[in-house]
C-alpha cells in the first residue's frame, strides 16, 4: 500500500510538472474557490471558516432545499448577517450562490421554480455577491430543443429582477455550449450566462477545452472544476489544458472546486490535495 501511494504521488507531481511546462502559468488570473456542499456544509455558515482554513479564495453558498414557512433555509436576516460577519472575519469572499431548491422544482417547467429563483436573486444581493447558479439536472435536465426553449422563457421571466439586483444568472446543465447559447439568446438578457462545469460536460461527451475557447470569457460567469470520483489530475480531464484555455480567453472570475471526498479520507485532506494540485497547474 505504501509503494502504491508513493507511485501515485510521483505520478501526480509529474503530471503537475507537465502542466506547468505546457501551460506556463495557466489560469493565473482565476481565483480558486469551493462549493459549500462539497465541504459537506451546505447552507451552513460554518463552511466559511473551513474554506478559509484550507486556503480557498472564495466560497459558493447554497440556499438549502428544506422549505419552512414558504422559505428556503437561508432566507433569514440573522443567518445572512452571520454569513457576512464570518466572510469578513475569515477574509473569504462569498463568490456566488446556488438555488439548490431547483433540484426539486425545476425551472424548465415548474412555476414554483420561478418563486425560488426570485427569492434567490434577493438573497444573493443580500450576501453582496453577483453570481447565482441555476441547476438543471435529474428529472429537470434539459433533454431537447423544446425544453431548452422553455428554460429560456423562464429565464426571460426572472431576468428583469436579476438585472435590477445586479445578479448574473448562471445556468448549469448537461447540454452543449451551442445549446446553452441558444437558451441565453432566448432569455434576451445580458444577465443570463453559463456556469461551466468541466466534469459535467466531459461526462456528457463534450470537448471542454474546445467549448471554453468557443464560449469565451463573456459567456461564462463562473466555473466548476471536478473529475469525480477521481482526484484532480488522476482522471480523464487534462487540467493543464483546461486551465490554459481559461487563461487564453481572459477569464478572471472564480473557479470553484466541486470535488468529492474519497472513501476513508477527510474533506479537509482531499480538498487541500485538489487545491494544491490545481495551484501547481496554475503556476
Structural domain tally of the chain?
A: 1
Output the pLDDT for position 262: 96
Output the pLDDT for position 16: 42
Whole-angstrom distance, CA of residue 170 vs CA of residue 118: 14
Note down pLDDT in tens along the chain; length 283 residues.
444 444 444 444 444 444 434 434 676 689 999 999 999 999 999 999 999 999 999 999 999 999 999 999 999 999 999 999 999 999 999 999 999 999 999 999 999 999 999 999 999 999 999 999 999 999 999 999 999 999 999 999 999 999 999 999 999 999 999 999 999 999 999 999 999 999 999 999 999 999 999 999 999 999 999 999 999 999 999 999 999 999 999 999 999 999 999 999 999 999 999 999 999 999 8
Output the pLDDT for position 220: 98
Domain hosting 148: range is 2-282
- In this prediction the pTM is 0.90
In this structure, is the dihedral angle defined by the CA atoms of residues 18, 22, 25 and 31, taken in order, positive or negative?
A: negative
- Angle at alpha carbon of residue 275, lines to 217 and 228, rounded to 5°: 80
From the list 233, 225, 229, 215, the residue with the least C-alpha distance to 264 is 229
Whole-angstrom distance, CA of residue 80 vs CA of residue 85: 9
168 touches 206 (CB < 8 A): no
Output the pLDDT for position 29: 85
In angstroms, how far is CA 221 from the centroid of its own chain? 9
Output the pLDDT for position 25: 62
What CATH number should be reported for the domain holding residue 237? 3.20.20.150
240 touches 198 (CB < 8 A): no
**How many angstroms separate the Cα of 192 from the Cα of each of 99, 101, 111, 142, 160?**
15, 19, 19, 16, 10
Q: Could you identify the residue written with the cell 463562473?
A: 222
C-alpha cell at 161: 429582477
DSSP codes joined into one string, the chain: -HHHHHHHHHHHHHHHHHHHHHHSSTTTTPEEEEETGGGT-TT-TTHHHHHHHHT-S-EEEE--S--BTTB-TT--HHHHHHHHHHHHHTT--EEEEE-GGGGTS-TTT-HHHHHHHHHHHHHHHHTT--EEEEE--GGGS--SHHHHHHHHHHHHHHHHHHHHHT-EEEEE-SS-HHHHHHHHHHHT-TTEEEEEEHHHHHHTT--HHHHHHHH-GGGEEEEEE--TTSPTTSSS--HHHHHHHHHHTT--SEEEE-PPPPTTS-HHHHHHHHHHHHHHHH-
Output the pLDDT for position 7: 43
Amino acid at each position: 500500500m505504501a509503494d502504491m501511494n508513493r507511485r501515485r504521488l510521483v505520478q501526480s507531481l509529474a503530471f503537475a510538472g507537465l502542466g506547468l511546462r505546457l501551460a506556463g502559468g495557466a489560469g493565473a488570473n482565476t481565483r480558486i474557490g469551493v462549493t459549500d456542499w462539497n465541504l459537506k456544509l451546505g447552507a451552513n455558515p460554518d463552511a466559511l471558516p473551513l474554506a478559509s482554513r484550507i486556503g480557498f479564495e472564495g466560497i459558493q453558498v447554497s440556499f438549502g432545499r428544506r422549505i419552512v414557512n414558504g422559505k428556503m433555509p437561508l432566507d433569514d436576516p440573522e443567518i445572512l448577517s452571520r454569513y457576512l460577519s464570518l466572510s469578513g472575519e475569515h477574509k473569504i469572499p462569498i463568490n456566488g450562490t446556488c438555488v439548490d431548491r431547483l433540484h426539486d422544482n425545476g425551472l424548465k417547467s415548474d412555476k414554483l421554480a420561478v418563486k425560488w429563483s426570485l427569492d434567490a436573486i434577493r438573497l444573493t444581493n443580500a450576501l453582496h455577491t453577483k453570481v447565482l447558479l441555476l441547476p438543471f439536472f435529474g428529472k429537470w435536465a434539459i433533454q431537447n430543443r423544446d425544453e431548452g426553449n422553455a428554460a429560456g422563457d423562464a429565464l426571460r421571466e426572472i431576468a428583469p429582477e436579476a438585472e435590477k439586483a445586479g445578479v448574473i444568472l448562471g445556468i448549469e446543465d448537461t447540454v452543449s455550449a451551442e445549446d446553452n447559447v441558444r437558451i441565453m439568446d432566448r432569455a434576451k438578457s445580458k444577465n443570463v450566462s453559463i456556469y461551466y462545469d468541466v466534469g459535467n460536460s466531459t461526462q456528457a461527451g463534450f470537448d471542454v477545452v474546445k467549448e471554453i475557447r468557443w464560449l469565451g470569457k463573456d459567456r461564462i460567469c463562473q466555473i466548476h472544476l471536478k473529475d469525480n470520483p477521481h482526484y484532480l489530475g488522476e482522471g480523464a480531464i487534462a487540467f493543464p489544458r483546461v486551465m490554459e484555455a481559461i487563461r487564453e480567453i481572459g477569464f478572471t472570475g472564480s473557479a470553484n472546486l466541486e470535488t468529492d471526498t474519497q472513501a476513508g479520507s477527510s474533506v479537509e485532506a482531499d480538498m487541500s490535495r485538489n487545491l494544491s494540485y490545481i495551484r501547481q497547474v496554475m503556476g
